[in-house]
Structure 1
Amino acid sequence: MFSEFLVKSLIKDYQHTEKTEVRVKYGYLGGVVGILANLLLFTVKLTTGLALNSIAFIGDAFNNLTDVASSLVTILGFKLAGKPADEEHPFGHGRLEYIAGLIVSFLVILVGYELIKSSLDRILHPVPVTFSLPAFLIIIFAILTKGWLSLFNRYLARAIDSQALSATSFDSLSDMISTGCIGLSLLASLWTSFPLDGYVGIIVSGIILYSGISLTKETISPLLGEVPEQELVENITKKVLSYEGITGVHDLIVHSYGPGRHMASIHAEVPSNKDIMELHELIDHVERQVSKELGIVLTIHMDPVNVDSEELMRMQEEVAQILQEFPQVQSFHDFRIVGKNEKENLIFDVVVKSGMSKEEEKELRKAITRKVQEKHPHFFCIITIDKDYTAQG
């Protein structure tokens, strides 16, 4: 595969896509290849357009020249995203890659808008089209070039999970389709004078506009802050729980500051009857190891759990059974009993999906308290609602 050959030939350590410098090289490669391909198409189309005195060809040539801007945006985006952290941006500049993808997405929408305008104009004001073999061959060459460019950028995008390169890939695909409409009208001119390209262009422009808007949403989502990848969530949870002395985890929150730049915090449950200094040393060790293994910055909050109280363990089991009646509750933690005799409080946190409203939270607390007091009237429940910020859908 030629795309793979280019990557292996031009990018040292191409396998290590988790490294910022390698990601930047992938972005540079996509941008440089895009510039060279679009300059080639510009030159060929402009030469053909001048030779045939074809306004359509000359216009399409300058459209390829504007596509060079998309490639420059990609290069600039990766260059800025690869800058190290500074005083103003202590978590780096990785999100600039998303902004580069957003700009390219806007350019895709612009292509769709311009295509729908020209298609409507062709329907309302039909122009006779005369078939030309040299022109048709140039169009075929342009379609093949743009098609390969789209596949090449998609290959790079998948290799480093890049929204910017995904947008660039679709930008090339939309150009390929637009050029295809010109080729269709040229070919159809052999049999009919009906402006078929105008109607096909309307359909194609609708597809391009829809895809451009979808790309925009995809690039805005990580800027706003989205649910982390489940693989990362599972890896963090699994690795933290793998250490002896940690009995449970909860309250995992992951923040992304660009591709491959994650900060996470998690609460780790430890037995309260262990030496506090040993536990502190354990937590520090786990933070360092997991951060290194996963390429993230991990902070762990230590939650001591009372394992010596028989009453606490018995009530925890009973509450666990009660909570099974509430499908919106995913788990519970930080369970403890405060007070004595007739004034005892059960204090615990329950985890629910992040979409639950304040009113629904209030009703859930009341319902759980009611169920507990049916069996143990002297207990009052103090329940904290925790949101699960890692669950998708």
Structure 2
Amino acid sequence: MRSSRRAGWDETRVKVAATGAASAVNLGLGILKLYAGVFTNSISIISDGINNFGDVFSNAGAAVGFGVEHRRPSERFPFGFGRLEYVMTFVMAAIVLVVGGVFVYSAMDRLFNRQIVTFAWTQFWIVFATVFVKAGLAVVFGLLYKKIPSEVLKAQCLDSILDMLTTVFALLGLFLYRYISFPVDAVIALGISVALIVSGVKLIAGALGKLIGSRDARADGLQRLCEAQRGVDDAEIKVYDLGRKRADAYVRLAFAEDAGEEDKAEAMRKITAVAAKNGIAVAFVREHAEVPLRESEGDDACALSSTDTAAQKEEK
């Protein structure tokens, strides 16, 4: 138990360091792009810079959330802080949606009220260099996501890729403005805005589903595990999501008539052990009994609650 908890804290430190560093990097990128955008009067570059400032807050929020998600359950928060990851993803998605909406307004205004854009090679190369920085962030978050699966890290990776492409198209618009009188940067900014809004909608839908209690995919795996046990005819399962790595599950098993007490006890032991390896604390409910209200699960994620079946009590 201690080793798993220590591993959890090691993962937390890595995630906090990565998102904290990304917040500082995005602050620098935002300042550079805003300077270049104001100097050239390019709405697409300015929009790209403001998008980086939005990333500063989302990265900082992610770092704070990661810092507290592995704290032990307390009297005030008996089920821990694992669901903070879903809240962070929701907030990030909301920021993306707001920024996308602002960009749409700015791009439409520039499209119908044309302004002069000044091309400058110095500012062009400054912004061009930021493309490689964003590519580096995308690679870092992508590698972290493979080692530490997290929706927040996945969102950060996708956001970095989108930002990189956004900057490329913004630079393309700035470059083409030298040869085309049509406000290309406004059209590109509009495309960037639509991409941001679509990305935000997808993120917010996934996070909202987790927060309001959509079906947990772990329930399907637990169902298959229960039904695969010897002597088990059927299983009724309720899983309560406490975060990416933690969940409470109440299981009511229906055994075959010829199932012996030893088979029942063995089935419950195996279900409990396998579920615990996947971060699920299982409590067995007596057949025909109501599922009880949840209580704090305590320190031992493998322990069964007071709703153990009669077979377990006899064994104890």
The counterpart of 2:279, out of the listed 295, 300, 303, is 295
The counterpart of 2:164, out of the listed 170, 176, 179, is 176
**For the residues of structure 1 that align with 2:277 and 2:133, how far apart are their CA atoms?**
41
Identity %: 23
Unaligned runs of 5+ in 2: 289-316
**For the residues of structure 2 that align with 1:124 and 1:69, how far apart are their CA atoms?**
32
Structure 2 residue aligned with 1:251: 236
2:58 is equivalent to residue 70 of structure 1: yes
After TM superposition, the score normalised by the length of structure 2 is 0.75
Deviation of the 1:113 alpha carbon: 1.3
Higher relative contact order (CA closer than 8 Å, sequence separation 6+): 2
Spell out, residue by residue over 1:12-63, the C-alpha distance to the aligned partner (whole angstroms, 9 max, x if none). x9xx8995324423421331231232233245446x649x945656786565
Deviation of the 1:216 alpha carbon: 0.4
Q: What is the letter of the counterpart of residue 257 of structure 1?
A: L
Q: What is the letter of the counterpart of residue 285 of structure 1?
A: R
Instruction: For residue 138 of structure 2, give the secondary structure of its aligned residue in structure 1.
Output: helix
**For the residues of structure 2 that align with 1:207 and 1:173, how far apart are their CA atoms?**
12
Aligned partners of 1:123 and 1:198 also within 8 Å: yes
| Residues 269, 64 of structure 1: alpha-carbon distance in 2 compared, 3 angstrom cutoff | closer
The counterpart of 1:138, out of the listed 105, 108, 126, is 126
The counterpart of 2:269, out of the listed 272, 278, 285, is 285
Instruction: For residue 215 of structure 1, give the secondary structure of its aligned residue in structure 2.
Output: helix
Aligned partners of 1:102 and 1:220 also within 8 Å: yes
Structure 2 residue aligned with 1:24: 12
| Residues 189, 237 of structure 1: alpha-carbon distance in 2 compared, 3 angstrom cutoff | closer
Q: What is the letter of the counterpart of residue 290 of structure 1?
A: V
Spell out, residue by residue over 1:188-217, the C-alpha distance to the aligned partner (whole angstroms, 9 max, x if none). 122112101112222231222122111101
Structure (1/2) with the larger strand percentage: 1
Instruction: For residue 104 of structure 1, give the secondary structure of its aligned residue in structure 2.
Output: helix
Structure 1 residue aligned with 2:222: 236
**For the residues of structure 2 that align with 1:17 and 1:108, how far apart are their CA atoms?**
33
Q: What is the total number of aligned residue pairs between the two structures?
A: 284
Unaligned runs of 5+ in 1: 1-12, 305-393
Q: Which of structures 1 and 2 has the bigger CA Rg?
A: 1
The counterpart of 1:227, out of the listed 185, 196, 215, is 215
After TM superposition, the score normalised by the length of structure 1 is 0.62
Q: What is the alpha-carbon root mean square deviation over aligned residues?
A: 3.3
| Residues 17, 138 of structure 1: alpha-carbon distance in 2 compared, 3 angstrom cutoff | farther
Structure 1 residue aligned with 2:174: 186
**For the residues of structure 1 that align with 2:49 and 2:194, how far apart are their CA atoms?**
23
Instruction: For residue 251 of structure 2, give the secondary structure of its aligned residue in structure 1.
Output: strand
Instruction: For residue 258 of structure 1, give the secondary structure of its aligned residue in structure 2.
Output: coil
Q: What is the letter of the counterpart of residue 214 of structure 1?
A: K
| Residues 137, 65 of structure 1: alpha-carbon distance in 2 compared, 3 angstrom cutoff | same
Aligned partners of 2:141 and 2:157 also within 8 Å: yes
Aligned partners of 2:227 and 2:235 also within 8 Å: no
Deviation of the 1:83 alpha carbon: 1.8
Structure 2 residue aligned with 1:270: 255
The counterpart of 1:124, out of the listed 91, 112, 115, is 112
**For the residues of structure 1 that align with 2:198 and 2:5, how far apart are their CA atoms?**
30
